[in-house]
Every structure is written in C-alpha cells, then in structure tokens.
Chain A
C-alpha cells in the first residue's frame, strides 16, 4: 500500500517540478499577461513600444516551474530553483528599456537564470549572448529558449565576470546579479557609447538600479531607481541547495 501511495505521489509531483509547457499559451494566461503589461509595465512608466511588445509576446509562464504558473503574471519575482529567481516583470522591462536597444544591437546578459530576460532582449535586439554559471539553470533555460524558437540567443555555461570575449564588443550588457564592483572585463567588452545596466546591493534587500555608460576614456554611472527585490528565496534557497546536493 505504501509503495502504491509513494508511486502515486511521485507521478503526481512530476508535473509540478517540470517547467510549464514550452509552447502552450492559453487565452487566460494571455489575458493575464496583457493585464500585467497594461497595469504594471505601462502603468509604471515604461513607454518604449518595442519593450512593451516584447513583454506582451514572451510567455513568462514558460520560464517558471509549472506549479507557479498561476502566479506567472503577478508583478513579482518567483523562485526557479537553485536558489535563484525570475525577476519582477517591471524590473525586466525597466532594465531592458534602459539599454536603449535597436534592431541591430548585440547584447550580453550575465546570469541567464530562467532565460526570460534573454527572451525579452532577443525580441528586440539582433543577437543576444547569455552566460549562466549554474549548470542546471543553463540547461533548462537553453531548452526553453530553443523550444520557443529563439534562434538569435547564444547560451553558455561559465563565469560571467569575464564576459564573452569572442563575441565582444557589445552595444549593451546586462548584469542580473548584485555585485560590489563592475567587472573590469565587462567594461572592456563594451563598445564606445555602449550601455551596461545592473542592480546594486544585496539581492534580498534594497538595491539601486544603475546604468553604466562608456564614452571615450570616461565611464559614468547613472542611478535609474531604487529597487527592492521581494525576498522570495530564503526557504527556496535552502531547498534548492538540498536538491542540488541530492542530484547525481
């Protein structure tokens, strides 16, 4: 009896552990996405039509665990395993808009995470290069991005601190992890006039979103806004660690 129950539980849990379907985009989720974009993206001042279009087109629910699908279009971060989160949609839109991308832009993203931010960038820019240090996330994000037919996204597993030298220089770079200094190799790999956006501060606390601009010999930093990433991951982090230890 116990074995049967365990088997039932196992098979019952599997769908909740897997990412949501890679292509299915039911009407109710589309409506939720539209509402999110209208209320929280445009409603809070994002006005670049390409960013808004990208936010409407990319199914965020495809990048999160299926069990969280119902929360996919709430304007908040969600845990994606490995102690990481998918960023709050407003912050994704804000960071993307700050880069002032064009159709010809070549963008480097440090910290692929779920792959959602890379997908948004890929909807606007010509080429997107994204690096993820955690193997599990690198693999799962790559699968989702391929499943959604994002042909202009190159993924790599590695240490984003050193950038992607073979593909440099970039028009724009986005760092999605908090740092106490901007990695010098990334400044090097930024084109003259290029823009780099990153959140500064503790990932679970108050952060400043800043934009770094390279102009000739000088590099300047502009504070965009103070952001407060809602700390969702305390318990999830521990669980993520346990899971990764158990995995072969």
Chain B
C-alpha cells in the first residue's frame, strides 16, 4: 500500500503545486506566488525533520507509521489540508501591497505560509516514511514518487481547458483518497500496534468517513459551496475595469497558459502614445485580459473614422517611414494598438504572431487577418520571408517592478538580430513601451538595437536609430537602412507634439519641448550612451549608471529587471525614500524569500540535532553535504531547463510542464534502474552526471537554436530528447545514496529533510542567478553541487 500512497500523493502534490501557481498568477503576480509557494514547499523538508526527532523518542516508528491505518490517516490529512488551506487562503484578507503599512499583513502572510505548507508536509511524510521503512527498495520508491509527480505535472495542462482552477484543485486534492478502501494486509498489525490498534483504526476510518463526506459534498455542490472563487487582485487592470458600470466578462477561457477573460465595457479606451493633437473619438473597443492583467484590446475598425486615431500615435512613426508597407509582421504581447496602426497604414499583408492559442483565434476572427499561433522567435527562426515593418507591441504589466522576474525574449540582442534579418532593405522595426523614470527601458532597448546593428555590420549604427516620446510612452525605430531623411521624423513629431529623444542630427531645440521634464532626462542619457559607444566607454557608462540597463542576450532575458544592488540606496532615495516602491520589485522579493528560506532551513536542519543525544548517532557531515549537493544539483538542473525552454515555448508554465514531466519520467526510470545497481555505481553515476552537465554547458545553446526552428511536434520531441540523458542520470544519485550511504531510518528521514531544504534554497538562488548573471550560470551551479556530492559519496 505504501508505494501506491507514495505514487498518488506525489501525483496530487505536484498537480496541487502547479495549480496553486496558476491561482496565484491570477490573484497576485508571479513573483508573489514564487514567494509563498517556495516557503510552502518546506513542508516536504519539515516531514523529515519531524521523523528525525520522533526517532529519538520512539523506536520502530517507521514500521508503525508505514502500516495501513496511519498511512490512510496521513493520506486523508493530506487531502483535507490541501482543500482547507486553499479555501482558507482565499478567505484570508492578505494584501501584499499593505505589508509595509499594516503589521497584521505579516501575520496573514505567516498564516498563508503555514497553511500551504501543511499538505506538502503530509505528502513529504508519506514519501519519507517509505524511504525509512523500505531501504532496500529506494529505487522503486523513487520511481513511484517521480512517476506520480510526472503525471501530476501534466494534469493541469490536460484538464484546465475543461474545468476551473478551483474545481481542479479540489479534485486533485482528493485523488489520494482512492487509496482508502484498500484492504490488503501488508503487515502484521497486531504485532506492530498491540493495544493501540483499535484507536489507530478508529482514526483511520473516522478520517475515511470524513473524507468521503467532504468529497461527496464537493461533487454535489461544487466549489461554490465553500465560496472559493479565484478572483484577480484588486490592483490588477481587470479588477479596476470591472468596477465601472455596464462592464461584464462575456467569455472565460482557461488553459495552462493563463486565464483569459473577454470583457465588454463602454469604458475601455486604450490609446497609449496618443497625440494631444488628436481631437476625434476613439473607436469602440473590447478587451481581453490574461490572468486579470496584460490587457489586450480589440478595436472595432469597421468605420473609416476608426482608422484616424492610429495615425496620431507614436508607434505610427514607423509606418510614416515605410508608407503603405506590403508586408507587416506584428509580434504581439498585450496592448492591441499595432493592428489598427498596420491597417491604417494600408498594409497589404498583415501577419500577427500570438503565442496564446485562444488569443490568436480571437484576433484572427476579429480582424480577419492571419494570426499565427506560435511564439515570435520560433516564427522568425522558421520563416525566410522579409517584412517592411516588424511591429513589436509589449507595454509591460500594470504595476512597475512586478515584472522584474518575467523572462521574455522580445528585446534581447539575439531578438534584434532576428528582427533585422527579416527586414526588407527599407524595412523598419517599431517598438513602443511605457516611459520609466529614471530612464531605463529606453536606454537598454536603444543599446540592444545599437549592438545588434553593429554586429550585423551597419555603420554607424546610431544612424539607423530614432527614438521619440510623449509624456508616458516612447517609440524606438530601428531601420535596416541608414535614416537619411530625418525631416520626415521631425515633421511627424512636430505635427503631433511629440518630443525627439534621439536621431542622428538632433538639435537641442527639438528635445523636451512639448512633454517637458525638469531636465531632458531621456535625451541626455541616450546622447551620453551614444557618445560612450563612439568613444569605446560603453562599459563604464553601464557600470556607473543608477540602473542595470545593459543590453541583454538570450542568456539573460529579463527586460523589466533594472535593479543594481550596489546602487540600491541611491535608487531608494531617487524614488522619494519610500519603501513601498521597492517592495513590489521582483528582485527584492527574491532576496526576502531567500532570507526567509535560510531561517526556515536552519530551523528544520538544526532542530533534530538538539534532540539527538549522542554525537555518534548524529548524521555525519558527509551525508549532509551529499544530500544537499544532490538536492541542489537536481533543482539547479531542473530550473535551468525550465528557464532555457521558455525560449522554445515562450510561456513559463508550458516550459515548466514539459521540463518537469520529462525530467521526472526519465528520473523515475533512472531510479528503477538504480534499484539493481551496487554501491560502486554511485560515484560513476555522479561522474557521468557531471560530464553531462559540462556537455550541456558547452553546447546546449546551439542545439536549442536548431530546435527553435522545428515544427511544433518536433520541437516538443527535441526538447524531451535533450532531457532524456539528463533526467535519467539525475534519477540515480538520490536513491543510490538513500540505499547505500545511510544506515538507519533516522538518517534517511534527516537526509530527506536536507534534500528538501537544499532544493528549495537552490530554486530561490536560481532566480537571482538568472537575473544577475544569466541562465547558463545555473547549470554551472548544478555542476558544482554534483561535484560536491561526488566528493562525499561513499563516505557515509
């Protein structure tokens, strides 16, 4: 029964984790979900800590707790805690935005951590019990854990289009309860329990009754019965729009890529970058929101007047430089202004690339244009066509700082090269973004375009660039040909009261005249940067600048990450010395979570050492290092692939699902294979793994670029094929170590705890490494972790 329990609970726990991430993405922002779920995962490690302490009080606990009665009770407690914690989480008035102002919010956050840790604690308890009780079958247990988790990882992708997030969470939570009617005797319970048997049975069957009743209640009444309703944060754009009268959600589509709500409202008026000289009315609009934010607007362009307003937007400059373009490619990520601009320009052929299938379908049907459902980089890698205009529309989220951890490949130097490679000789790239002060985006994008042009031999690169702004947006134009006739640009800016920020022959009277700042911050900084490039001092410019605005390659694609830790104090002061402004920043959240995780890890790992009386019985340091290395190495590897594969699949959740399910399936096979291996295999397995990591470190980038251009099925197969050797080898060190390095159940329970803590810490560190140093460094960390494990392997 214990293997079945391990399988079902692992399946349920992973599906629960993925669905919680989905729910948090809707109710909050990604980096806040990262915060809560990371800490909650310590529940796994806490189970090992508890069993280690239990070992000092009761001998033979592993046999008693692994028998049918307690296992059923733990399974039931897992299901109950998963459902109840989810319900409670929706009921707690936790508001991250108020954390700096209300101490009670810290208490709510603590409650959220504890509640969400409970199901993971019970799941971990069942798995660690299995390892402690069946040391000779660690390979099989590992197989059951990994195979269950792999199935759990794909359940949300399969079922979310059919049922709501809340219903699916409740359903996956009760999956392990199928085990309860199981009656096959696995142990002599009379011998194990003695006089305690009746009481244990009462607990188990009592739990069973309660669980069945609850399940029946959910099935009969649905999740409405407990008022679980996943609603976007009130700070998100959807919530704000819904507060207007006559505004309603007309359709909702759910998938692993996000929840899409289509909204009808007379109050949707989206026109970023609109000139103040525009005096007509905007066309009617409806909006589509992904996870309650990232507004995408669909305009009613049937009337001819509807095509007037796009000509008054900043983005239209590109169409002024490439009038009546025969072919336009729109790379869409929120917004919605690009299509009206292209239509207004009289473009003959418009192709929109949209990675979300639901949005692509809506777009195609609404405008009757070609909407290709794929990610932009894949599309560019696969097509040989050239375009007169490539319009990249991506405005960012509604709360600055909240997107700092978002990994996107629209604005990297590699992306710019791909755009330039697909332009006709007179073609232009148009990019419009929100203005940030101090200047951030504008500088980085300008620099990325400059470096890409220089790489492609366009000299001088600055002559191919133009940057204009109004009071809250800017537009960067990257031209395939040198911008010789700048009079068009100056005339466009003057007629619409836009300000010039950069152009090759910019005179001072053209800057900061219509949209006036105390100083011409943007023009000043870009002029300085252009001068720095000319004089070969760009590196010094980036080092001394307040924010991190270095151009990013595909290796570090975080376009909203600007924080520089050494300049934190200066940045804080520049934002009015308000803590709140920094607290919503993703980078700060990562550090806060890391500090919290360090404290929790220290508590979980040190606590059992106080209870173990003799030094001789304490877990040897070599064991601790081995399982830390293996846990951290596994997580570094997994997260490296998740982050790398976002380039292939664009969406982080799709990447997560592919990588986790792939790695877990292949690891489970590795675990099964390890079951037949002797102790000597351990060091060889680690050596092979280190070799594989180094191989990936040197050649995976190139391989992925080839895979990027493959058709969708081959892309998935290619991605899984790369994971096969890595996943298989990653599945060897843990079960082999559990079996051969550890001597008793207490050590196994403690090793489980060490492994869990190292995994969570590694996942948090990975986020910071990717932001600051780049994604490949995560793989370097995996190599180091496995080398550390190798040095201690066999010294238990």
Contacts and interface: CB of A to CB of B under 8 A. Distances in A.
Interface of A: 82-83, 133-135, 159, 161, 179-185, 187-188, 200-206, 208, 210, 212, 217-223, 226, 228, 230-235, 237-238, 240-241
A83 B243 contact: yes
A82 B231 CA distance: 17
B45 to A, nearest CB: 32
Contacts of A210: 471
22 contacts: A133-B244, A133-B245, A135-B245, A179-B269, A184-B279, A187-B276, A200-B471, A201-B472, A204-B97, A206-B400, A208-B437, A212-B276, A218-B497, A219-B276, A223-B517, A226-B575, A231-B97, A234-B98, A234-B234, A235-B234, A237-B243, A238-B234
B576 interface: yes
A221 B276 contact: yes
Interface in B70-94: 93
Interface stretch (B508-516, B543-551, B780-788): B508-516
What does DSSP make chain A's interface, helix, strand, loop or mixed?
mixed
Contacts of A184: 274, 278-282
B398 interface: yes
Nearest to B309: A184
B95 A234 contact: yes
What does DSSP make chain B's interface, helix, strand, loop or mixed?
loop
A91 to B, nearest CB: 13
B272 A223 contact: no
Given A205-B399, A205-B400, A230-B101, A159 B266 contact: yes
Contacts of A221: 276, 470-471, 514-516
Nearest to B295: A180
Contacts of A161: 267, 269
Contacts of A235: 93, 95, 98, 234
Interface stretch (B343-351, B578-586, B635-643): B578-586
B235 interface: yes
Nearest to B281: A184
Given A202-B399, A228-B581, A220 B269 contact: no
Contacts of A232: 98
A184 B305 CA distance: 15
Interface in B229-273: 231, 233-235, 239-240, 242-245, 266-267, 269-273
A223 B471 contact: yes
Contacts of A179: 269
Contacts of A203: 240
| Closest CB pairs A-B (n = 4) | A219-B276, A181-B274, A237-B234, A221-B471
A156 B494 CA distance: 37
B277 interface: yes
Given A202-B235, A220-B515, A231-B98, A183 B269 contact: yes
B521 to A, nearest CB: 10
B516 A222 contact: yes
A203 B243 CA distance: 14
A226 B398 CA distance: 17
Interface string B515-530: 1111000000000000
A161 B233 CA distance: 25
Given A180-B270, A205-B398, A235-B95, 14 more contacts: A133-B245, A184-B280, A187-B276, A202-B400, A204-B399, A223-B518, A226-B576, A230-B101, A230-B580, A231-B580, A232-B98, A234-B95, A238-B234, A241-B242
B619 to A, nearest CB: 45
Nearest to B584: A205
A200 B437 CA distance: 13
A184 B278 CA distance: 6
B516 A220 contact: yes
Contact of A206 (B245, B282, B513, B581): B581
Nearest to B269: A161
Nearest to A218: B497
Nearest to A134: B245
A12 B101 CA distance: 28
B235 A188 contact: no
A182 B472 CA distance: 11
Contacts of A205: 235, 398-400, 584
A79 to B, nearest CB: 12
Contacts of B471: 200, 208, 210, 221, 223
Contacts of B581: 206, 228
A204 B397 CA distance: 13
Contacts of A187: 276, 279
A208 B101 CA distance: 22
Contacts of B278: 184
A176 to B, nearest CB: 14
A228 B576 contact: yes
Contact of A188 (B242, B279, B515): B279
A219 B235 contact: no
Contacts of A82: 243
Nearest to A181: B274
Nearest to B240: A203
A220 B512 CA distance: 10
A43 B233 CA distance: 36
B341 to A, nearest CB: 15
A218 B497 CA distance: 7
Contacts of B516: 220-223
Contacts of B244: 133
A202 B270 contact: no
B737 to A, nearest CB: 47
A231 B583 CA distance: 13
Contacts of B235: 202, 204-205, 231, 234
Contacts of A222: 516-517
A202 B398 contact: yes
Q: Which of B243, B281, B400 has the most CB of A within 10 A?
A: B243
Contacts of A231: 97-98, 235, 580
A226 B584 contact: no
A137 to B, nearest CB: 11
A226 B243 contact: no
A157 to B, nearest CB: 10
Interface in B263-310: 266-267, 269-274, 276-282
B239 A237 contact: yes
Nearest to B282: A184
A230 B583 CA distance: 13
B400 A208 contact: no
A159 to B, nearest CB: 7
A172 to B, nearest CB: 16
A219 B580 contact: no
Contact of A228 (B282, B518, B578): B578
A240 B242 CA distance: 12
Q: Which of A181, A204, A230 has the most CB of B within 10 A?
A: A181
Nearest to A76: B101
Contacts of A182: 274, 276
Contacts of A202: 235, 398-400
B243 A219 contact: no
Given A206-B581, A226-B437, A235-B95, A180 B279 contact: no
Nearest to A206: B400
Contacts of B95: 234-235
Contacts of B234: 83, 233-235, 237-238
B267 to A, nearest CB: 7
Q: Which of A133, A200, A205, A240 has the most CB of B within 10 A?
A: A205
Interface string B173-217: 000000000000000000000000000000000000000000000
A212 B274 CA distance: 14
Interface in B375-412: 398-400
Contacts of B575: 206, 226, 228
Given A222-B516, A226-B437, A180 B276 contact: no
Contact of A220 (B93, B245, B400, B497): B497
Contacts of A135: 245
B233 A220 contact: no
A66 B665 CA distance: 61
A208 B277 CA distance: 21
